[in-house]
Amino acid sequence: MLRACSPFAIPTQPGGSGETSEPNPTKSFFSIPLLEGKPQPSSTYKSATPYPTRTPSRTPSPTLTQTMTLTPTLTPTPTPTLMPKLNLLFQTCDTGFDLFGGLGEITNAYITLQNIGNTDAENVKLLLSANDEEKPHQDKQYTVPFLPPQNEITLKLSVDTQSSQITVLTIQVTADNASEESFTKENCTNRFPDKERIDALGVLFKVVSISSSKK
């Protein structure tokens, strides 16, 4: 049995005298070796290696840039306005006498009226006048109820004029849905009609297509 709490065991001498002797370090029951320097740790466990600490890095978020999309603007195509367009051609003129109408000298004018627009010319009126006009002549005006587009009409108008005077003729054209047109012809004193020119005009007072009249 151990008699004291000491790092050294104290054995009794043989013979049982009970006397003790100086402790002999070489006969100790156990000993703790002393090492020079700092004492070594008695634990055989290694210190746990700490887990590495991760510092979260911020990934830059993409910035959405608004892109403007150009929407094409539709430009409306203008619709052509439907309207007639009158074209007046003064073909020839001459002088004569109207004995049956009780008139003396008259002046005749041959006129071609064309519609080069894109719709009918309505209620077209042609009026012939002269600078030396005397009595109203029954054939000084004419009305065309309808003149289709790309069509024409040639007619003969007459006006009562004075003898031995230089006659200046004026033709005025009006319509319900077309612009007014006028034409002036000076010095219509030819007493001999231009037969060749008149025959080339074809049938008078008849509406025909412009293309067919040129054949």
What are the CA-CA distances from residue 31 to residues 24, 39, 201 (Å)?
12, 15, 155
The DSSP letter of residue 201 is T
Q: Is the pTM of this model over 0.75?
A: no
Structure tokens at 26: 């070489």
Q: Is the pLDDT of residue 101 over 90?
A: no
CATH of domain 86-210: 2.60.40.10
Is residue 120 a contact partner of residue 84, using CB atoms and an 8 Å limit? yes
Give pLDDT tens digits for 135-163: 999 999 999 999 999 999 999 999 999 98
Backbone angles phi, psi at 198, to 5 degrees: -65, -40
Look at 13-22, 78-87, 169-178 and tell me which has the smallest mean pLDDT. 13-22
State how beta strands 207-209 and 86-97 pair.
unpaired
Q: Sorting pLDDT into bands at 50, 70 and 90, what band is 188?
A: confident
Q: CA–CA separation, 90 vs 186, rounded Å? A: 11
E-strand ranges in 1-104 read 86-97
Q: CA–CA separation, 125 vs 121, rounded Å? A: 10
Mean pLDDT computed over every residue of the chain: 78
What are the CA-CA distances from residue 17 to residues 13, 49, 155 (Å)?
7, 59, 181
Give the pLDDT mean for 53-77. 66
- Measured from the Cβ of residue 103, the count of other Cβ atoms closer than 10 Å reads 18
Is residue 196 a contact partner of residue 138, using CB atoms and an 8 Å limit? no
